[in-house]
Amino acid sequence: LLVKKHQSPHTGPERWERDILIDKENWTEVFKVPSKTCKENKLKEFQFKFIHRIVITKKELFRYGINTDSDCIYCGEQDSINHTFIDCEFTKTFTCKVINWFNTQNDSNFQPDTKEMLFATFKHPAYMELVRKFNYTLLFMKFYVYVNKLNNSSLVLTEFITRINYKYKVENL
């Protein structure tokens, strides 16, 4: 196995390409984002799992008999990775609140599209350091949504702001 150096294709990026029509040449940048954006290994690991679509949702927990249902705790629809991070109205609302809060706090006007939000690849050449902080905020927001959803907790903006401000201090942002 090691001599032949057989590498299986990454199925996560292929499924993301199908679901949100991301270009193949952008994947190199997507895979580099966690190391450029943050120092925390837990967030890097989460982003890796997210890119490869191996993040556990209620859909998988139900499939393996761990949960009794596969419904989203916020809206009651069928849960999945796409639903959690793209389709859920509660997550969309929370994301808008976080982006508005960030723009207000940093006197900016960042409006990422779906791809930039999902993979924290937002770019703006004039504000490199602020963009890094924004991408970190997007990454941590996804992690916050994921953890709260698994723990059946609500999404609270004030709690998120407290946590992200602490994370900014740790990351020196």
| Per-residue pLDDT, 145 | 95
94, burial (CB in 10 Å: exposed 0-12, middle 13-18, buried 19+): buried
DSSP string, 6-39: -----HHHHHHHHHH---GGGHHHHHHHHHHH--
DSSP string, 137-162: HHHHHHHHHHHHHHTT----HHHHHH
d(CA 20, CA 32): 19
Residue 149, CA atoms < 13 Å, CB-side half-sphere: 29
* 56 SS3 class: coil
d(CA 7, CA 11): 12
47-70 confidence digits (pLDDT tens): 988 888 888 888 888 888 888 888
pLDDT, mean over the chain: 85
137-173 confidence digits (pLDDT tens): 999 999 999 999 989 899 999 999 999 999 999 888 7
Q: Is the pTM of this model over 0.75?
A: yes
Within 10 A of 132 (CB to CB), how many other CB atoms are there?
A: 17
DSSP string, 75-121: T-SBP-HHIIIII-HHHHHHHHHHHHHHHHHHT------HHHHHHT-
- Residue 91 sits at φ, ψ, to 5 deg, of -65, -40
d(CA 1, CA 7): 10
